[in-house]
Structures are given as structure tokens and as C-alpha cells.
Chain A
């Protein structure tokens, strides 16, 4: 999708509002320009006793109220000025309202689309892009677009309408002076545009210096233990000091340049005003311009030039909007998966891997090669292997996060690839090695995937996962908030909450992705005992590098370099598989010194 198409797609839904926004901007400009015209009519016709010259006022004095009435009731003339201002105020409000509604709707729709898209990204995409970069795209980049839609766009419209309409009116009054009074406009515009284009480097340098400063502070805060333990406070201070000074100096230089810009562009604008004042006087003296019309010229010049100066700035800033839009569009082009494609299948738990190989894209190494094994329904099977043996890839395959490059996986005899991902994932509960808890209460975290649950069942599961005492210690119990703004939990506590979250689902199959081994041995044993005692049919798959967690499984599948090199019970493997026996002895040795 091209970047402009993305924006248009979201604007299209509220296209009529763009029309409304244009209309009200035009009306605002018209009525803003009206005030000086009215003052000029007042000066020329009412005070200086000449005939109205502008068509609007000819119409006004012919149909609504005669000049004589106005002249003898000056308060009426005053009220008309208030009316003009009121009308322009109403349009100003409507313009602001429509502008906000339009931009907020477009941004809401864009945000929802981005959110939905990122949620549906395929494993390949979310594992290959930096999460920080994706977060930046959906937050800061969207903010850039929001700023553009909510203020810059309407400022542009305003300046364009203002300059053209004012010019047209002035041309109608006195063409020669009109040309003279717009002389500086192209200069101001070009000057602003070129200046800000060239300043972009300076802006970037200041931004980078700031982010470097932030990183330095962050690193210092996070590494405070090391800093203090090694008594490097003064070293840290001097490091910080230099970054602090760099940021100050670069930004000051930037502001200095901006000062020159604003000063110079003010100079051009004010010079234009002098020009209009002086030539205007001579036009009046020569009788080519009335006094009132002279005041219109003087007012219009500043009304037009200040916004034009902004246009140059906005346009030169447009590069940022373009980049932000492109980055969002790129994200929308990341490949997604359809979790509902495929059949619904009621999982029993009999799994068969038949000659399965796996190669991740962009990586030529085979992670798994010719892996075959079976898992009987309702049994407990452990998959063991060292880091990099491919054991976690088995979990990704089981959840269909990735698809095998070769071979077939069967679930209860049905090819896994026929079963919809949603159906599969909601029935096979996976306890990840690094689970995420959401910023919410403990209760809502436990029930995040289940629809209803009574407290009794929650408590029995909390006992099974050794969480009861921890939760009792919290004043708010199950309502205690965790995550970003809540209590900080240790790795083990998070792990156990994730287990409880999975157990609450009472799924027919549960998979521990190296998560049991993160628990201390006692809790590990406790959880495994609890799993043996569940009152519903359950197939358990334990991925682990720890002998103690695997030892009691009915079958242990031992992986090395992506291949199954042995399978059987602990006792069988101790005699049949030298590698397994070695790991056992290594871990025993560590344990027993």
C-alpha cells in the first residue's frame, strides 16, 4: 500500500468533513477580511460623507439600512461591527470543531487499523522487526500525522485562502497598489521554506544529542548498583556533564539560528508594511485611493504575511509527515496471518511429528532436521536439550507460530496445518519462558483468556502453583495491580502466574516452554504433582534443559543440534544415550560438588 493511499483510505470515511472544513475555513477568512472593509466603509461613507464604493456596502445601504440612518445612529454602525465579529467567531468555532472531529476520527481509525494489523502479524514479521521500532511507528509516527491533520493542514488552508482572497479584494480596490503590497510574499515564502529545509540538520543534531543525553541518564539509573559499587560516581558525572553540555550548545545554536530567521523575516514583513504605508499615502494624495481603502491595505498586508511565513515553515516540515506516513504504511504491509482459517478441531492430545524439518527464513541453518516422535494422549512427555538444540522451535511448531519446512505434524491424526490457529492455540495452553503479564489486576490477568471462573477454582489453582501465600500478602489480594504501574513481581512469581493463567483454562493440552526450569526445585516438583492430579484428561509437554524437570516424564525426547538422538524413559536413556547420561552427570556434579 502506498503511503498516501493509506491516509486517503482513512480520510475517505469522513470525506464530507473535509468539505465542511474547507467551507468554514473560507467563511472564517471572508469574515476576518470583512472587518477592515467595514471600518473602511465606516470611515469613507459615514464619517467622510462619500458614496459607498464596495459592492457589499452599496447593497447594504440600498436594501437594509440607509447611510443617513447609520450616520444619525452611530450605535447601529457599532452593532453591525459586533455582528460581523460574532459571525466570524461562530465560523471560527465551527472550523475548529470540524477540524478536530475530522482529524480525531481519521487518527482513531488509523490507530485501530494499526493495532489490528500488528496483532495479526505473522511470527516471521514480529520476530524480525525490533519491537522498539514498531512501537515508535504506532505511537510517535502517528502523533506526527495527528499534528499534521489537527493543525498544520488547516493552517495551510487558512493561509492559502487568506492570501488569495485578500489579493482579490485588494485588486478590486486598487490594482497597482495591490501588486505592490504583495511583493514580498514570494520572498517570505521562499526564505521560510529554504531556511527550514536547511535547518533540518540542526534540528536532527539537537534531537540526537537529547536522545544521547537521555540514554546516558537511563544507563546511569539502571546501572546504579555497578556505579556505586565501583565508586564511579565522579566518572559518571563527567560523562553526563559532557553530554549535557553538548545538548545545551547544539540546541542553543539552533535557537540562535531561529532567532536570525524570525528577525529577518519580521524585517521583510515590516518593510513591506512601510512600503504600503508610504506608497498608500501618495495614492491617497493623488486621489487614487480613499482614506478608508488605505486602512484596508495596511490591515490586509499584515493579515496575509504572518500566516504565509508559517506556510514556509510547515511545508519545509512536510518531510517529517511524509516519513511518518511511509513508516506507518510500511508497517501495514508487514505480512499477517489469518488465525481463523482452517477447521475447528476438538483437541484430544495425540501428537505425531513425522520427519519434521525447520529452517527459519533468512537463516540457512536447519533448526530441526528429520524430527519424528509421538506423544500419546493424556501422557506427560519431556523434550530435553541444551540451548540451541531446537527444543523451543517445537513449541513454535505446535502453536503454528511457524510451519515446518518439511514433514507433517498430526494432531489426533489431523494435519496440524488444517486446524485453525485460533482453535489450536485456544486449546493448547503454552506457558512461555518469558511470559507477559498485562498491566491489570492479578484476577484479570488470570482470567485473561477465559470467560468465567468462580473464586473457589481460582484459589485451588493458586494453591497448585504455590501462589496463595504471595497473594495473601498483598493488601488488595487478587485485585492487586501488576505490570507497569503495579507491584513488581520476581521472575519466578511471574512464571507461576502464567502457569495459573494456563491451568485456569482447563485445556486438554499444556506445554511448558522451558518455564518449569525457571522455578526453584521445590515449586517445580509441586507444580508437577498438581498436574498429575487434575480431574480432567490432560496431555503435558515439558520443554526443559533441567534433568529434574524431565526425569519423571513417561517419555523423554532428547534433542541435539536439531535432531532427536534418543527417546525413552529416564532409566532407558541413562543406559542408551551417552549424551543424556553426560548431562545428568554434569548437573549432578554441579549439585553435589
Chain B
């Protein structure tokens, strides 16, 4: 079972592992040190039985060299000290590789995630990305450290034992080595079965977890629908099938070991009968025979693990594929390098014949043109799916237009670094997102060097100051995961303060008032007024009160502007806007 044969197994993807190993090669010094530890350890494991042989053949059978027993004992103890020190060192070393590799993979993946555009986040659920970053990287790091260690040790041990056995007595050695191909085939078979059974178990286990969490999170729906018996029945089917699959998987695993033992015992048995004969006629020492019996067990020890390691490798391969697919994901947005010159952004915006689609063939924007003068507020209204949010996304450069260009202050935004645009942007989205930290750190998010005065004045301007002061610790109140404990309205006010604190020259409100009930309406309107004062703004409209004061209102339908003008102009036009305005009181879409 040399390396060549190993990597040519059909189920192992060579190219993939080569890439993984090339990443591991960053830590080549540590890896080589680990290799040397493992080889030393395996050598020690090969030498131990030789001590026993010497004791049996010389001290016990022949009664020679008895005066050297103390020397024998001290050598033995020395070997033990070396061996156990190796154990300590290799664990430490493997841990070092595992942790550094995981750290490195996480780092490059995270950096990659920061560069990927929204089209990646649109097509990959957050849970999916998260498990690439956590469990997949963990599994991969484990196999390149501990898995590799097992393989090197096992291989060194088997080679070492084979060599010693062949040197001492080639004939007896063959009795052991002949079993290797047989056991290898058996291990391969079991590896497949165990892996398959194990996958089934994992799949059904995740279904059980999903069912539990769906039930607990949806308990109110289940209760009010009075469907408890139905859920209970379907769960118990799942639990039963979990039991059946788990037992099946356990049966395969517990069958494997006895079979390996049985085949190994054939080697031992033939050693006893052939070797025993030699001992009886006096051509073989008893110690040597027992050395071989001891070696048989040690020799098949690594082979017993081979099924497990191969199964783990296959799972790690799937993880590797997924992690690499994240690292290989195409970066849609190519940033130009940041220059030192500081050009302030004024806010003259031009959409020039912009086309855009998320999916090939389904144009969201078609030859879209729009001009916004610096300081103007433009409202976008219309049915959902019409392209309003897309316009905003393109302006923020979350996506690039398929064709056409967007100019800010007369320059195509693709020719300027992202930081130029985004550091001048104040953005508030429909569902507020707060980060863990404090209220103050959340408001200062867009300008980390903001002083407390800046933060407070931003909060005051959007009427968030009052409720913040009512919190136990005021601005230092910790914000828990997802901003729990704050109402949606409060979180949205903090988002407004955050946008204002960033001191932007261009403001984007993407349905920013949708989730706020009408009691907070008045406060919010005032907050928006403060926020938009003297700045270019694009507002995806939700409530008409936000729109009526806009300098320009565009009704967007199917990726085009079908009407534009001021509130009064459009009302007098008595067409789409008029219809929206008179028929729908509150929400223009869902």
C-alpha cells in the first residue's frame, strides 16, 4: 500500500488534494517536523518488542548476560522516555498545524467573503456560508493534521515491522505479509459501507434537528391549527428511521473489527504452527517466535484504522470541495486601487443607459436613465419587483450594471475606488441590523473615530437620544446578538443615527420605514427630514409622507420610469401615481 496506489483510488480527487496540500505547504517546516516525530515514534514502537525478544531468548531461555539486566532495564527506560516525549511533541505539533491551518483558511475565506459582491450572498444562504467557515474548515484542518499523522505513523510502522521481520526471518515474515492485500480489500469494502451508513445517519439526524426547531419555533402556529397529533406522528416516523439507520451503521462498524482480528489470527496461527515446528527442532528461538506473534498485532493495528481514516478523508474531501468553491467564487466587483488624493463626493448622479439582470435573460432594468442633481431627493415608487431596489443596489455598487454606466460627479463609479463612494454613503435598509457591541459603537459604525459628542448629536438629530438615555447604561448599553431587547422602531432610529453619524453626502433609504408602526411615524418623518437636509438622496418609497416632499418622484415599473415629476405634477397627471396615491393608503407593496 504505497502512496501511488493510495492516491489513485477512484473516489479520491487528486487535483483537489494537491491544492489542499499546497496550502498546507505554507506550514512545511511544521509538517516536516511532525513527520520526523511520527517516524521516530513508529521506530520506537518497532523496537519495543525486540527488547522482549532479547529478554526471552537471552536472559530466560539461555540464561546468558544476566549481569546486564540493569543495563537492559535502563535502556528500556530510556527508550520509554524518548517515546513518551515524542507522544507529547507530536500531539503538540499536530495541534499547532491543525490550529494554524484552520486559522489561515478562515482568514482567507473571511477576506474573500468581504470582497464578494451581493450576487454571491443572493445565491448562498447565510447558513450555508457559515458552515463552510466553521464545520468544513474544522474537518479539513483535522484531516491535514491528525489524519496525516495517523497515516504517516501507520505507514512507517508497517514498513518498519516488515523490514525487521524480513531481516530476521523472511519465511515467517511472509506468513504475516500475505494477509495485507486481503485485509486491504476488506477495509476498502467496509469503508464504503460504513461511510454510506454514516451519511444516512447524519442526514436523518439533521432532519430530526430541523423538525425539532421548526416545531419549537412554530409552536403557536401548530397549536392554533390543532395539528399536534399529525406532527407527533411524522416525528416518530423520523425517530424510528433514525434508530434503524444508526443500528445499521453500528452493525457494520462492529463487524469490521472482528473480521480484521479473525484474519490476523490466521497469520498468528500459521506462525504458531510453522514457527512452533522450528522451535521444536531448535532452528528458531522462542523469543523470535513470540516477537512475530507480537508484531502481528502491532502490524494490523494501523490497518484496522484505515477504514476510519479513508471514510474521514472522503468526508473531508467534500468539505474541501465546498471551502475551495468559496475561495474560487468569482468576484464581480473589481476595485481600482485606492489613491491618496482626497476628492470629496458632491452627489451629482447620472444613470446612463443602464441595463441589469440577476438571471440571464430576465432583465430587471432596461436602458435606464436618471439624473439626480447634488442635494436633490429623488423618490422611487411602484410595485414590488419593478426594479426600485435594484436601482439603489447599483448606485451603492453592490452590483455592477450589465451594460451602461453610472456616473457620480461626472465620473464612472467603476473608475474610482469603492471606498470613495462608500465612505460618503449613508444607507438605511428595511430591516435594521445592529452589531454586537454598544449603542454608541453601533452609531459610530460608519465612522469609527467619531467622538461621543458626534454620536450624541447624531442620535439627538434623529430623536433617538431620549430612548437611549432611558436605557440603564445609556450609550454604553450593550447590544446583544441581533439587537435583542430593542424594538424594531428603536433599532431603526439607531440605523438613522448611524447613517447620519457617517457624515455622508449621499443618502439611500431602502424601504426604511416599512417595519415601523404608525405611532412612531411622526418622529420618524422628522428624523428623515433632518437626515436628508442638503444631501443627495434616493428614497425607495414606502409611505407617501416620505415622498410628497421629494424634489422628484419616479414611478418605476418593469425596469423603466413610467412617470416622473413632483407630487403635484403627478397628481394632476391623474395616471399611475394618482392611482397609487388615491387607492392605496399606506403601503404600496408588500
- Which residues on A sit within 8 Å (CB–CB) of B59? 281, 285
Q: Give every chain A residue within 8 A of B231 (Cβ-Cβ).
A: 119
Q: Do A119 and B273 touch (CB < 8 A)?
A: no
On chain B, the residues within 8 Å of A548 by CB distance are: 585-586
Q: By CB atoms of chain A within 10 A, which of B235, B277, B587 has the most?
A: B587
Check: B19 CB closer than 8 A to any chain A CB. no
A277 B76 Cβ-Cβ under 8 A: yes
Distance A563 CA – B391 CA, assembled complex (angstroms): 47
Q: Mark B501-519, 1 if CB is under 8 A from A, else 0.
A: 0100000100000000111
**Chain A CB within 8 A of B310 CB:** no
A231 to B445 CA separation, bound complex (whole angstroms): 10
Stretch at the interface among B160-168, B256-264, B351-359, B531-539: B256-264
Contact of A248 among B87, B103, B290 (CB under 8 A): B103
Indicate if B429 sits at the interface (CB-CB under 8 A).
Answer: yes
Complex: chain B residue closest to A114, CB-CB: B212
B377 partner residues in chain A, CB cutoff 8 A = none
Would you call the interface of chain A mostly helix, strand, loop, or mixed? helix
Chain A residues with CB below 8 A from B51, complex form = 277
Interface segment among A73-81, A343-351, A571-579: the answer is A73-81
B77 touches A274 (CB 8 A): yes
Contact with B545, one of A232, A522, A593 (Cβ below 8 angstroms): A593
* Alpha-carbon separation in the docked complex, A436 to B254 (Å): 42
* Contacting pair A591 B585 (CB below 8 A): yes
Considering the complex, give the chain A residue whose CB is closest to the CB of B128. Answer: A221
Q: Are B85 and A229 in contact (CB under 8 A)?
A: no
Hey, which chain A residues are within 8 Å of B218, CB to CB? 436, 438
**CB-nearest residue of chain B relative to A225?**
B429
B60 touches A93 (CB 8 A): no
**B130 lies within 8 A of A217 (CB):** yes
Contact B223 A81 (CB under 8 A): no
Q: Does A455 contact B (CB under 8 A)?
A: no
Contact among A112, A259, A484 with B87 in the assembled complex (CB-CB below 8 Å): A259
B571 to chain A, nearest CB (A): 10
Interface residues of B in 392-409 (CB under 8 A from A): 396, 398
- From B63, B261, B545, B589, contact of A85 by CB (8 A): B261
Interface size class of B (residues with CB under 8 A): 35 or more
Kindly list chain B residues whose C-beta atoms are within 8 Å of the C-beta of A190.
none
Determine if A259 and B590 form an interchain contact, defined as CB atoms under 8 angstroms apart.
no
The 0/1 profile, CB within 8 Å of B marked 1, for residues 207-227 of chain A is: 000100111011111111111
Does A101 sit at the interface, judged by CB under 8 A?
yes
**Interface window among A131-139, A310-318, A355-363, A404-412:** A131-139
A248 touches B100 (CB 8 A): yes
State A218–B436 Cα separation when bound (angstroms). 11
Find out whether the CB atom of B130 lies under 8 angstroms from the CB atom of A138. Answer: no
Among B96, B269, B508, max chain A CB count under 10 A is at B269
Roughly how many angstroms separate A431 CA and B133 CA in the complex, as a whole number?
A: 38
CA distance A216 to B436 in the complex (A): 9
Does B139 sit at the interface, judged by CB under 8 A? Answer: no
A214 to chain B: closest residue by CB? B134
B266 to chain A, nearest CB (A): 6
B425 to A220, Cβ gap below 8 A?
Answer: no
| B213 touching A135, Cβ below 8 Å | yes
The answer to whether the Cβ of B55 comes within 8 Å of any Cβ in the partner chain is yes
Per-residue B-contact encoding for A273-284, CB less than 8 Å = 1, 0 else = 010011001101
A139 with B222, Cβ < 8 A, contacts A47-B280, A490-B590 known: no
User: Given the complex, which residues of B lie within 8 Å of A46, measured CB to CB?
Assistant: 276
Partner of B215, one of A119, A224, A262, A386: A119
The contact of A436 among B96, B217, B508, by CB within 8 Å, is B217
- Cβ contacts under 8 Å, A298 to chain B: 52
Q: How far is the CB of B384 from chain A (nearest CB, A)?
A: 8
B244-252, B312-320, B341-349, B555-563 - the one binding chain A: B244-252
**At the interface with chain B, which of A55-63, A162-170, A370-378, A422-430?**
A422-430
A247–B73 alpha-carbon span in the complex (Å): 44
* B-facing residues in A237-260 (Cβ within 8 Å): 237, 240-241, 244-245, 247-249, 251-252, 254-256, 258-260
Residue of chain A at shortest CB distance from B421: A231
Among residues of A, the one whose C-beta sits closest to the C-beta of B56 is: A291
Does A96 have its Cβ within 8 Å of any Cβ on chain B? yes
Q: What range describes how many residues of A lie at the interface?
A: 35 or more
- Which A-chain residue is minimally distant from B589 (CB atoms)? A520
Chain A residues near B91 (CB-CB < 8 A):
255-256, 258-259, 262-263
- Which residues on the B side are within 8 Å of A75 (C-beta)? 273
Contacts of A222 in B (CB 8 A): 126, 433
| Of B118, B209, B253, the contact of A224 (CB 8 Å cutoff) | B118
Q: Does B279 contact A (CB under 8 A)?
A: yes
> Please, how many angstroms separate the alpha-carbon atoms of A438 and B111 in the complex?
35
Pair A267/B80 contact, Cβ less than 8 Å: yes
B34 to chain A, nearest CB (A): 12
Whether, in the assembled complex, B6 has its beta carbon less than 8 Å from a beta carbon of chain A, the answer is no
Assess whether A115 is in contact with B232, with CB atoms less than 8 Å apart: yes
Residues on the A chain within 8 Å of B436, using CB:
215, 219
A278 engages B216 (CB within 8 Å): no
In the assembled complex, A365 has its CB within 8 A of some CB on chain B: no
User: Within B192-233, which residues are at the interface with A (CB < 8 Å)?
Assistant: 208-210, 212-228, 230-232
Q: Pick the contact of B396: A77, A229, A249 (CB < 8 A).
A: A229
Per a CB cutoff under 8 Å, which of A77, A107, A259 touches B272? A77
Are A521 and B586 touching (Cβ within 8 A)?
yes
A79-91 near B? 1/0 per residue, CB < 8 Å = 1011011101110
Interface residues of A in 489-513 (CB under 8 A from B): 490-493, 495, 498, 501
Complex Cα distance, B110 from A240, in Å, reads 8
B83 pairs with A266, CB closer than 8 A? yes
A residues less than 8 Å from B111 (CB atoms): 237
Inter-chain contacts of B548 with A (CB < 8 A): 593
A264 to chain B, nearest CB (A): 7
How far, in whole Å, are A372 and B446 apart by their CA atoms in the complex? Answer: 52
**Residues in B whose Cβ lies below 8 Å from that of A92:** 254, 257-258, 261
B125 nearest CB across to chain A (Å): 9
A271 to B567, CA, bound (A): 91
Q: Is B255 an interface residue (CB 8 A)?
A: yes
Residue-wise, chain A 105-123 has the 8 Å CB interface mask toward B (1 for contact) of 1011001100110111101
Known: A78-B269, A230-B425, A263-B88. A439 touches B286 (CB 8 A): no
Per a CB cutoff under 8 Å, which of A223, A245, A401 touches B433?
A223
Q: Does A196 contact B (CB under 8 A)?
A: no
Q: Is residue B114 contacting chain A, with contact meaning CB distance below 8 A?
A: yes
B102 sits at the interface (CB 8 A): yes
**Contact, CB under 8 Å: B73 / A274:** yes
When chains A and B are docked, how far (Å) is the Cα of A463 from the Cα of B215?
29
Contacts of B286 in A (CB 8 A): 43, 47-48, 291
**Cβ of A399 < 8 Å from any Cβ of B?**
yes
Give chain A residues whose Cβ lies under 8 Å from the Cβ of B63. 285
Q: Which residues of B contact A226 (CB under 8 A)?
A: 427, 429, 433, 435, 445
A418 part of interface (Cβ distance < 8 Å): no
Whole-angstrom distance from the CB of B124 to the nearest CB of chain A?
9
| Contact in complex: B216, A118 (CB < 8 Å) | yes
Bitwise, B419-462 to A at CB < 8 A (1) or not (0) is 10011010101000101100000000110100000000000000
Does B136 lie at the interface of the complex (its beta carbon under 8 Å from any beta carbon of A)?
Answer: no
- CB pair A229–B422 under 8 Å, yes or no, is yes
**In whole Å, how far is A303's beta carbon from the nearest beta carbon of chain B?**
11
| B183 proximal to A (CB < 8 A) | no
A386 to B489, CA, bound (A): 14
Q: Is the CB of A590 within 8 A of B544?
A: yes
Query: Contact at A262–B121, with CB atoms within 8 Å?
Result: no
Whether B250 lies near A522 (C-beta < 8 A) is: no
For the complex, is B465 an interface residue (Cβ under 8 Å from A)?
A: no
Chain B residues with Cβ below 8 Å from A107 are 243
- Given the complex of chains A and B, what is the CA–CA distance between A227 and B223 in angstroms? 39
Name A75's closest neighbour in chain B (CB-CB). B273
The 4 A-B pairs with the shortest beta carbon distances in the complex, nearest first, are A96-B254, A492-B590, A255-B95, A89-B258
Can you add 9 more A-B contacts, CB < 8 Å, to A81-B268, A214-B134?
A118-B219, A223-B435, A229-B427, A240-B110, A259-B92, A399-B224, A429-B224, A449-B227, A520-B588
